Amino acid sequence: MPMPVVPPKPRPGDRVAVLSPSSGLPGLLPLPYELGLTRLEKEFGLVPVEYPSTRTMGATARQRADDIHAAFADPSVKAVIASIGGDDQITVLPLLDRELIRANPKPFFGYSDNTNLLAYLWNTGIVGYHGASVMCELGRPGAMDPLTAESLRAALFTSGPYELRPAGRFRDTDRDWADPATFETEPETRPGTGWRWHGPERVVEGRSWGGNVEILAWLLMADREIAPAAAYDGCVLLLETSEELPAADEVFGILRAMGERDLLRRFPALLMARPKTWSLERRNSPEQAARYAREQREAVLRALAVYAPDTVAVFDVDFGHTDPQLVVPYGGVVRVDGLARRVTVTY
């Protein structure tokens, strides 16, 4: 498969589209959203441009597809950023005009349900960026985490290698976005745990693919935006789980299905994000959270042992639903150095 196009980068002063390809949650919870817009302007020097469905709860798939088309077709818009994720972006994909988007490549930033659009761009031959939604990362209470801000700035404005590094502190707990007091203080964090390496000590460099495990399962079930298995030969697999906190057995089942589809062995390296272990609906104790993370890691290792025993795996990389969040190119080059224990991405 030919190398994809790396879209031109925006510069301070440029207009960037802020879309809701999944949920129109900015209309329901405006506080983190408007804080994120303010930071895009004041801290990154960009001019956010909203579209008709950006703040519309219950927008139809057609309305969201129209906004995506408008953002990519507008020559004055230099990047596209998702407001947040959701759970039905898969219904938007069949409505997209691939030739329009291919003819107007732009950096797209999003994750979670936006795995749909990232996989679509991968098949369209355009590098995307996994991470940095407006409400979660840019709208973080107190201030943006410095690690997130540095990574996002590098991904937005620079080209070339960028070394990822473990977070010194992190969090996966949340506070009520409807409460203004939430945004007046820094959220509580706890000490980072570093990365966990598994598998052969070798260097793998390849294009990245993957995203949210639950969304990948839906794409696999619908057989949508999944290329023939050989297309992923030599690629680096990115996997992360959401605030839905899927059980370890469910994660194993999804990876087993990928293995049975002859996909898993195609990836000589895997970056597994630090899992979110707490949600407003499931307020796990520290002991429960640690057990959840351990059981998920063991489930992934079980699947690798059966289907991809030679894969180099790195666990607890900060690019998923936890904070801080590193931006990782999707379809771009990722280098996993199992000898030096380093991970470098190319923005």
* Helix, coil or strand: residue 205: strand
- 124-166 confidence digits (pLDDT tens): 999 999 999 999 999 999 999 999 999 999 999 999 999 999 9
Question: Sign (positive/negative) of CA torsion 86, 80, 209, 292?
Answer: negative
Chain centroid offset of residue 47 CA: 22
Report the alpha-carbon distance of residue 25 to residue 56 in Å, rounded.
Answer: 7
pLDDT in tens, 221-253: 999 999 999 999 999 999 999 999 999 999 999
Q: pLDDT digit string (tens) for 164-189? A: 999 999 999 999 999 999 999 999 99
Total-model pTM:
0.98
The CB density around residue 201, as the number of other CB atoms within 10 Å, is 11
- What are residue 45's DSSP bridge partners? none
C-beta of residue 13 within 8 angstroms of C-beta of residue 47: yes
End-to-end Cα, the chain, rounded Å: 20
Rg (CA), the chain: 19
Establish whether the linkage from the previous residue to 107 is cis, with ω within 30° of 0: no
Token pair in block for residue 317: 């990389």
pLDDT digits (tens, 9 = 90+) for 51-69: 999 999 999 999 999 999 9
User: Other CB atoms closer than 10 Å to residue 200's CB: what's the count?
Assistant: 12
Dihedral, 35, 36, 38, 42 alpha carbons, nearest 10: 130
Task: Using the structure block, give the residue that is written with the tokens 């596209």.
Answer: 80
Confidence of residue 3 (pLDDT cuts 50, 70, 90): confident
